[in-house]
Amino acid sequence: MAPQELRYDGQVVVVTGAGGGLGKAYSLYFGERGASVVVNDLGGSFKGSGSDSRAADVVVEEIKSKGGKAVANYDSVADGEKIIDTAIKAFGRIDILINNAGILRDVSFKNMKDADWDLIMTVHVWGAYKCARAAWPHFRKQKYGRVINTASAAGLFGSFGQTNYSAAKLAQVGFTETLAKEGLKYNILANVIAPIAASRMTETVMPPDVLENLKPDWVIPLVGVLVHSSNTTETGGIFEVGGGHMAKLRWERAKGGLCRADSTFTPGSVLAKWKDVNDFSKPSYPTGVANFMELLEEAQKLPPNEPGEDIDFKGKVVLITGAGGGLGRSYALLFAKHGAKIVVNDLVNPDTVVKEIRDMGGEAAPSKASAEEGDLVIKHTIDAFGRVDVIINNAGILRDKAFNNMDDKQFKQVMDVHLRGTYKISHAAWPYMLKQKYGRIVNTTSTSGIYGNFGQANYAAAKCGILGFSRALAREGAKYNIYVNTIAPNAGTNMTRTIMPEEMVQAFKPDYVAPLVVLLSSDKCPDPTGRLYEVGSGWQAQTRWQRSGGHAFPIDVKLTPEAVAQQIEKIVNFDDGRADHPTDPAEGLKSILANFENKSKSGGSGGGEDWLAKIEEAKKAKAEGTPFDYDDKEVILYNLGVGAKRTDLPLVFEGDDKFQVLPTFGVIPTFNAVAPFSIGDIVPNFSPMMLLHGEQYLEIRKFPIPTEAKTISYPKLVEVVDKGKAGIVINGSTTKDATTGEDLFYNESTVFIRGAGGFGGQKQPTDRGALTRAYPPPKRAPDAVITEKTTEEQAALYRLSGDRNPLHIDPEFSKVGGFKVPILHGLCFFGISGKHVVQQYGMFKNIRVRFAGTVLPGQTLKTEMWKVGGTVVFQTTVVETGKLCIAAAGAELLEGGKGKL
């Protein structure tokens, strides 16, 4: 019996950012299934500029044309009350809120402007708050509401170049968990999803069937289940979804290291218990703060701590925000005791603590300013001591209020002091840390942020946002020896006095948190960066993600919410032995990517683990041959795609007596040729999304190259190499003249597949002469240099030669892949470099390159060439960035240098 269709008749759904992509797909789904839909879209660019009402209007018209009910709203999510008001005026109620609107302002942290930070926070955090806050009274009154907020892999794990976006997206987790706790008794359920649509790749060719699997169609059904009235239990959940795979995440807490909480408690004693701090052999799965009173009682039963290794901060300058009392003061005194120079920052009174430090013989300076005035605080630090080595972002305030009664000022004040203050201090210090290639930052989240907490929607959002920021910053800082960690402390302070009984305030001394902070800021910490620790009462424990094994739906069957509902128990099951612990975006994508081989018809890539036998079998497999016919039109189109000008008549005019095919055209006939094997059958854990196009070899076997021909290409497997954590697959392809049977071209393409190694294969590629040779440039000035500016239209033109990957043309697709604009095809700038060799030295019989980086259309390419005997060694650099895009390349010239342009 088929499951009953999930419908939303009589319900009203608000979808923000619904003019395109995921938001449009949500709107159409709810419209088709009986709901009245408010389609909100400002119509701005993905960077957040401009507005255009047409985006929302088109979606509304489409819903109405299918018999559905919908109205458009063109307000910014920053004016959430106007969006909700549209629902009430048009339809009299609101039942479901999908906070989907989003923009990107990706930029490295050192180049980030306050506007890049503030705009992301406004759209993602403030927008989600404003819409939810306006809907909340209606939800409570009708005792029904469903909320979906949107996080991302960047938020869950931190993403390079996205400190703003990572902060905003993880803020959604703390915010959602709090709404779930506050809403439960009113039948208001809130969940957060991290939808996966694409991933940044360094020049890879993705087949259309893979792109099909990254559509919104794979996200909508889960959301449909979570917001349906039949869901009465699943709330506060964090879901990863995309490509047919769905899984849930939760927090996992280590056993932790417990030290006696007294004067013998030192950073060295934490170091001695470091194994326990990170021991997940008997983990817990908390939804709130640890039992610190019980931990304190246990701690006091222990013998005095061994002092452990001495940790010295002599010559180091430590800045602590909010250090006039409480935790900050405790940190300041302990750092001073270990030899550091201290800058005591406090908005009210830094001077008392400065005096305490000086009285004990230490060096300290005051900074009386808000953490939001980061530039001023860092100026105070540099003026006092000439450098900054360690930052403890500790300043904070509380403005607790039930969400239904929270006002905009209370939300904004907490966000500004905690999250924006942490950003401002770190950002102002970053240039100094980069210059000295040294920095240690400890940021402060809280258990309210990690787990959500009643009456703290503002604080939870800010504190979880700090964790997302820290994880992204840790990725950017690592190579510069700048390490970033995050703590969730429990201590009795003036701030917690408003929510804790006085005896607990007295018992939970800040002194029992400080040793971990000092250790994390030192050079002795065994796990230097990117971690999260809960700490207090002499106890410290790492907390990390655990992800359920989830459920994988076959990608060749249309996914419905009914199918998801049948599998929801499996999706949320952490106890079936399949759960894992993702720590970065690549690991985060692993299960989704693995599902790309899951097809109902084929049953996936088959069982058995004898990869070596499979490789041998694949090597013997013969291709049927894929035809490709071309004439002067395809030749000219290709030549234009690699930068030929109207004045280059031999390349663009079929009537020129020297009309010719550029030799790199040899990659085109075989581009879409069908191989006699599947990569998923010859290496484990294959995912096209983890594939990088590493090297290309091309041999021209017939001169002159015909300007028109009917061809057939025969791909084959050449070699598979096991690099441990990755697999390397070398594909060969011979292109023949279909009429004469003569060879025209031979191509070899080397692809590097992350996560596909460890199958016991050969460790190094076979040396096969010119086919595998790398060409390091001679240690002298190049013999020739050609510089060429690509055009903004280069990728649009080149794709007409056969590579239709949307990554190179669709801004919506490229932006979710992490690129500001669509990137240029690797084989396009390969062709441009090859053209430079022909221009300078004439026709070559073979060419081999290593792809080393990406190129954006409009950037300038510089090809440097060295003639070494009959070979041209070359490399190509992107002038604007100074980075190589082609490296270790060489071309063997045709005897006599024929065919020079």
Strands (E), 336-481: 341-345, 364-367, 390-393, 439-444
Say which residue the tokens 């550091």 belong to. Answer: 340
Query: 459 catalytic, yes or no?
Result: yes
Taking alpha carbons only, the member of 75, 203, 68 closest to residue 822 is 203
Tokens standing for residue 488: 């969730």
Whether 174 and 464 have beta carbons less than 8 Å apart is answered as yes
- CA-to-CA separations, 629 to 215, 626, 674, 709, in angstroms, rounded: 32, 10, 15, 6
Residues 6 or more apart from 561 whose CB is under 8 A from it? 6, 220, 221, 222, 224, 225, 228
Closest to 377 measured CA to CA, from 332, 318, 436: 318
Q: Which of 130, 169, 716, 736 is catalytic?
A: 169
User: Which single residue is written with the structure tokens 């290291």?
Assistant: 257
Q: Collapsing DSSP states into helix, strand and coil, what is residue 168?
A: helix
- The runs of H, that is alpha helices, within 11-126 are 21-32, 54-65, 80-91, 114-120
**CA torsion sign, 102 to 104 to 110 to 111?**
negative
What is the CB-side half-sphere exposure of residue 32 using CA atoms within 13 A?
13
The answer to whether 43 and 53 have CB atoms below 8 angstroms apart is yes
Q: Using an 8 Å Cβ cutoff, are 446 and 463 in contact? A: yes
Asked if residues 243 and 218 have their Cβ atoms less than 8 Å apart, the reply is yes
Name the token pair of 631.
Answer: 């004439």
Distance, in Å, from the CA atom of 663 to the CA atom of 846, rounded to the nearest integer, reads: 9
φ, ψ of residue 154 to 5 degrees: the values are: -60, -40
What distance in Å separates the CA atoms of residue 204 and residue 98, rounded to the nearest whole number? Answer: 33
- Exposed, middle or buried: residue 249 (CB in 10 Å: 0-12, 13-18, 19+)? buried
| Residue of 29, 165, 638, 746 marked active site | 165
Placement of tokens 């910053």 in the chain: 473
Ordered strands of the 883-893 beta sheet = 626-630, 709-722, 726-737, 743-754, 691-700, 844-851, 883-893, 871-878, 860-868, 784-789
> Which residue in 450, 360, 394 sits closest to 171, CA to CA?
450
Q: For residues 859 and 573, what is the distance between their CA atoms, to the nearest angstrom?
A: 49
646-651 long-range contacts, CB within 8 A, separation 24+: 648/901, 650/901, 651/901
Check residue 122 and report its DSSP letter. I
Task: Let me know: does 565 contact 3? Beta carbons within 8 Å.
Answer: yes
Token output for 652: 């663009």
- Among candidates 187, 209, 213, which has minimal Cα distance to 199? 213
Beta strands in 379-481 (DSSP E): 390-393, 439-444
In the set 74, 129, 144, 459, the catalytic residue is 459
CA distance 845 to 699: 6
Q: Where are the beta strands (DSSP E) in 738-801?
A: 743-754, 784-789
The answer to whether 686 touches 701, Cβ cutoff 8 Å, is no
Query: First-to-last CA distance in the chain?
Result: 71
* Residue 180 and residue 240 in contact, taking contact as beta carbons nearer than 8 Å: no
Respond yes or no: is residue 775 known to be catalytic.
Answer: no
Stated as kind and residue range, the H or E segment containing 552 is strand 551-552
Q: Is 26 a catalytic residue?
A: no
Which is nearest to 400 in space by CA: 288, 327, 500, 491?
500
What tokens does 766 get? 């076979």
Cβ pair 22, 219 in contact under 8 A:
yes
List, by residue number, the catalytic residues. 165, 169, 459
